[in-house]
Structure 1
Amino acid sequence: MKKITLLFLMLFSLSNCAKKEDSNNIEGTWKMVYAETIENDTITLKDLSNTTFIKIINKSHFAFFNQENTGTTNFYGGAGTYTLKGNTYTEILNFTAVEAIKNHPFSFTIEIKGDTLIQSGIEKVEAAGLDRHIVEKYIKLKK
């Protein structure tokens, strides 16, 4: 009886560890599969057929890169720190080619469903002429 109880406790512990590791883990490498921008009354969908957008998130920092699949034109990227409190994900863009948004906090609501990260919120920086709502969906890349 003790062996069965011990076996049950071991299996239960392993099951809980796997659940904690997989659920709501924002850390990893994410590939954008959908991006929608709403500005004024216009909805724009990002054409991802000829470009790859990757976001990498570790314990304290994030970075993103976008490049066309052929050639080296239209490459851009950025990086910085972030905080995550509940489902509020706030990026501070410390590295960017756009001075007006450098060190500006951008807060988003996130939701993680399996291997999908959904990020939405308002990007507003008056100095950059930026005022839009975004919805982005990413798939977590496997190791």
Structure 2
Amino acid sequence: MTKRVPKVKPTRGRSISAVDPSIGRQDAYCPIFSFEYMVRGYSVDDLQKNDRAELAVQLFKLSQVTWGDLKKVGRHALGFEKIARDAIRAPIPAAITPDVTLIAFRFSGLKSMVGFRSERIFHIVWIDHDRTVYKH
């Protein structure tokens, strides 16, 4: 007996392309976190054990709130603040082009995680455990 493979509708072609319904509505979703571009010297490896735990707790809390709601709360609560590129004192990865907006979330008191948003993903680039990543 031969099994038939079901036909799949094309998502892209000369006259057709699928539209991602979430484009333009990313603020309705909760953030996803990435460590892909993390800089050595400012990574999870450089944190004390208790700060690692507090970072994990903060990431969990942030993952439960939509981007839209995070924009509305204060930077010392769950919210974030924009960081000027020229304020960065740490090495900047090539993935961060001049058009990228940098933002920082707080954890463990005044310590922060600095990175950039790409749709609903927050790429954590630096963990500012000693407050030396940018001018405060």
Q: Which has the higher strand share?
A: 1
Q: Which has the higher contact order (CA 8 A, sep 6+)?
A: 2
Q: TM-score range by the shorter chain?
A: 0.3 to 0.5
TM-score by length of 2: 0.33
TM-score by length of 1: 0.32
